[in-house]
Amino acid sequence: MTDFLIIVGSTRKGRRSIHAAEEVDTVLQEQGHQTTLFDLKEKEIPFLGNRSYTDEEPVPEDIQELSQLVQDSDGIMIISPEYNHSIPGVLKNALDYLYPEYSDKPFSYVTTSAGGFGGVRALGHLQDITLALGGFPGPSVQISDIGSVFEDGELVDKETRERVEQFADKADQHVRKLN
């Protein structure tokens, strides 16, 4: 059994990537894994001040929580829409608060888009960022045309469900290989 931390990287009103995160969470739990969903929309994370490993000023409470969750997890899964050919600024800001906690952590990714590319440009940036943070980039799944794949928050596309299940298996294999 693997313990996954799922970071939801969008805070926009009407966001659809939350549905992908909830689906991945469900699939992982069905496969017998432990999951923790860390939704940036529910957290108060100011613009980067002091990183988690400095003593200069107090670190925000929600960053302290994220730090502990990262340390306690076997693998980190980032769920992100593609905004303007990259990731949301709020996600980059939250990721940047930590550094030593990511050392040798396996990462996997779910990227989404309203268009046909499923967030592949955001994926490239996430891989670069997590590699620079000392993590090990791993499997990914892209969900295109997210507005049609989910209706009222429910996944209605059977092929996407199969792809998410395969992705969850690969993410678990990635974690097991590295741990």
Question: pLDDT digits over 70-113, tens only?
Answer: 999 999 999 999 999 999 999 999 999 999 999 999 999 999 99
Residue whose entry in the numeric block shows the structure tokens 């040798």: 104
- Cβ neighbors of 169 (< 8 A, separation 6 or more) are 31
Question: pLDDT digits over 109-128, tens only?
Answer: 999 999 999 999 999 999 99
C-alpha 3/C-alpha 34 separation (Å) is 5
What's the angle, vertex CA 5, arms to CA 177 and CA 167, rounded to 5? 55
C-alpha 155/C-alpha 136 separation (Å) is 29
Residue 59 has pLDDT above 90, yes or no: no
Does the predicted model carry a pTM greater than 0.85? yes
